Chains A and B, each alone.
Chain A
Amino acid sequence: MSARGRFLEAAAGLTSRAARRAPVEAARAGSLFWAWLGRTAARARAVGREIATGTTLAPERWTDYLDYTGTAAAVLLVLQAATGVLLALHYEPHPSLAFASFSAVGTEVPYGLLVSGLHAAGARLLILVGMVHLLRVAWTSSYRGPRAGHWYTGVALLSVMMLSGFSGYLLPWGQQSFWACVVGTEAAGALPVVGKALVHALRGGPEVGGPTLTRFYLFHVFLFPLAVAGLLYWHIQRVWRTGVSGPPDATARPDPKACRGCGACERTCAFSAVFVKTGQEGRRAEVDEAACNACRACVFACPAGAVALVRDNAPVPTEPIFPHNVLRRSAAVLAALLVLFAGVYFFRGLAVGHKVPADPLSTPDRIKPDWYFLAPYQVLKILPSERWGLFALLAAFGLVAALPALDKKGPRRPEDRPVFIRVFQASVAVFVVLTVWGWLS
């Protein structure tokens, strides 16, 4: 028995044989934990080494710079968690206390206005940066093949963050928050079969009230952050594993002299663009350049380092991750923080915008959801029935979420996909028009 096992046994003061074994099991579980910690530390060291010595693709087009929105979003998310924890120290989630305690953070707590301003403006900016990140990926169809999982986890992340924003909107318990919650939860009632039960479950009763606040607080400070943390870890891990996708006009090209014909590239290709042929010089990998999506999976899979990305017979330019890429990403984060602080300064109303406490017997004029729900709000307003409106919204969301399943192959260059790009531009235009219309109406 190990020293730890003996210690645990002694500490537990157990005598029976079965009970004596329990601490040993616990010690074994402890060993598993230490083993896991060791593996994690080793992985972190490997990541650090890769950052210090590795290379990545150098940005070329303007869209490549938008890659860094992902890093900016991750930093904003961490800031949301930090400011959220600080706000939770002073907020009291009870209908009779919520409005006063929320207002007091802005007026009585030192730096409270700054912290609540950062949290309020940060949430809006985070969704915006997340949406830009999503659009950038869609622009070059970078969600295909090995990056489909990135897209699914990314869309899930953005959705949970929007839901988190919706749940957080109720917490100040002002008139705007209360009635936005009434409308938002009531809309879920249009779902067939489960609608009414879902509304009841969300609200904790037939109407928005104390139980709704408790539930939304739980969603906002526990369930959604937990989901976001898990999804973010998954998302970043996947992105790290595959790297960013190559330029849409590039193609993979194996070096016949270095290729050993092992077939690792063929097995990893999601586009059936790489295959191994047996010729006079033995087995060699070849690429169907029309089918290649420059996803770089074969570049990473080749044990001989024989595959490279090329464009016009020249290698696609790369740069060291450190300092070049790290500095670019840091600049993107700084730019996002600059916009955030400008937002806190110029939109102070976001933090103190809930001037009137919730009144369940009076719906105010011009109740508006947050900016990112203005388009769905306007759809619900203009379509003749709430059920049709809800179906339209769910269909639009489903199309976006399922993009990797709907668009699997073909050219990636925007110039070569005129129909997709027109639909893309029209969708963004419709979203913007609905948002502005929802705001002005």
Chain B
Amino acid sequence: MGVAGAMAAGWSVLRFLFASGPKAHSMPGGAFSSTVGSAETSGPSLAKNPDGSWSLDADALPMGQSLVLSMSGVPVLILHGNKGVRAFSATCTHLGCLVRFSMEDNQFQCPCHGGKYDENGRVVAGPPPMDLKEYRVDADDGDIRIFPV
């Protein structure tokens, strides 16, 4: 009885130890590099211009929609609302979660600790200590250009 039990336990341990590694390693959405936002996605993405600005095809952002994209690892929220196309830092100034824009409430909302910012990125509720940073945007000729500085 004891020997059979020991052999069964030993066999289980051996099976665990000698199991081959997982077959499929690739993550959905591709591999990560060391920085935020370098995941390969099939959706829209920002392209860097020689002058340091970043471009997005205007068709990718219809009226009433927003996108969070990576600007060399920095998450930026691009918003097409009543005041045209605007771009803000997507990182909540409280503890670093990414904010979303609610078209119904016309405000940025953080899902982590309830921080809220108005449509201009100013704090209106919750614990964030600072407003969201806004980036300069040029939107014409079917191209949205964002200037990071």
Contact = CB atoms under 8 A, between A and B. Distances in A.
A225 B32 CA distance: 28
A88 to B, nearest CB: 12
Contact of A100 (B12, B17, B22): B22
Interface stretch (B56-64, B81-89, B92-100, B137-145): B92-100
Contacts of A358: 32
A183 B110 CA distance: 12
Contact of A209 (B36, B96, B98, B129): B36
B16 A111 contact: yes
Interface of chain B, main secondary structure: loop
Chain B interface category by residue count: 35 or more
Given A109-B16, A179-B97, A367-B111, A361 B39 contact: yes
Contacts of A187: 95
Interface string B65-95: 0001110010100000000000000000011
Interface string A150-187: 00000000000000000000000000000100110011
A111 B68 contact: no
A204 B19 CA distance: 33
A215 B98 CA distance: 23
A100 B31 CA distance: 11
A187 B73 CA distance: 20
B4 interface: no
A360 B37 contact: yes
B10 interface: no
Nearest to A209: B34
Contacts of A103: 22
Contacts of A179: 97, 112
A108 B19 contact: yes
A368 to B, nearest CB: 10
Given A95-B32, A104-B21, A366-B111, A357 B96 contact: no
A383 B24 CA distance: 44
A138 B35 CA distance: 45
Contacts of A357: 27-29
A3 interface: no
A112 interface: yes
Contacts of B39: 359-361
A344 to B, nearest CB: 16
A183 B115 CA distance: 13
A361 to B, nearest CB: 5
Contact of A182 (B15, B22, B68, B96): B96
Given A95-B32, A365-B111, A367-B97, A110 B27 contact: no
A86 B16 contact: yes
B72 to A, nearest CB: 11
A101 B25 contact: yes
A427 interface: no
Contacts of A210: 32-34
Nearest to B20: A108
Interface in A108-144: 108-112, 115
Nearest to B75: A361
Q: Which 4 A-B pairs have the closest CB atoms?
A: A104-B22, A95-B32, A96-B31, A186-B96
Given A90-B22, A96-B27, A360-B36, 15 more contacts: A96-B26, A96-B30, A100-B22, A100-B26, A108-B22, A110-B12, A112-B19, A115-B16, A205-B35, A358-B32, A362-B68, A362-B98, A363-B110, A380-B95, A380-B127
11 contacts: A95-B32, A100-B25, A110-B16, A208-B36, A211-B34, A357-B27, A361-B37, A363-B111, A365-B111, A380-B113, A381-B113
